[in-house]
C-alpha cells in the first residue's frame, strides 16, 4: 500500500505568516492573495527562489480547492 503524501507543515506555516514583499499586494499574507493575482503570476512567471515556490504552492492550493489544509494552522496562529 502506497503512503499518502502529507503536506509540509513548515511550508504551510510560511504561507500563513510570510507577507508579499512587493507589488500591488505588498504586506498581504501570501495565503490571502487573491487567485486573480496568482493567476497573473502563473501567466507571467513566478519569481525565482523561495518566494516563487511559495506563490506557486498557494496558487495550486487555491485552484484545487485545498484551502482546508490551511485551517488547522489558521486556528493555531489565531490562538497565539
Q: What is the DSSP letter of 70?
A: G
| pLDDT score recorded for residue 1 | 47
Q: Which residue's entry shows cell 495550486? A: 60
| pLDDT score recorded for residue 70 | 86
Note down pLDDT in tens along the chain; length 80 residues.
445 555 577 888 899 999 999 999 999 999 999 999 999 999 999 999 999 999 999 999 999 999 988 888 877 777 66
Question: Could you tell me the residue ranges of all domains in the chain?
Answer: 9-78
| pLDDT score recorded for residue 71 | 85
- Which pTM does this prediction carry? 0.83
| pLDDT score recorded for residue 55 | 97
Amino acid at each position: 500500500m502506497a503512503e499518502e503524501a502529507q503536506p509540509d507543515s513548515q511550508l504551510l506555516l510560511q504561507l500563513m505568516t510570510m507577507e508579499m514583499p512587493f507589488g500591488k499586494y505588498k504586506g498581504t499574507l501570501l495565503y490571502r492573495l487573491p487567485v486573480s493575482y496568482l493567476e497573473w503570476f502563473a501567466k507571467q512567471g513566478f519569481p525565482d527562489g523561495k518566494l516563487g515556490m511559495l506563490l506557486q504552492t498557494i496558487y495550486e492550493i487555491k485552484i484545487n480547492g485545498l484551502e482546508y489544509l490551511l485551517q488547522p494552522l489558521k486556528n493555531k496562529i489565531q490562538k497565539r
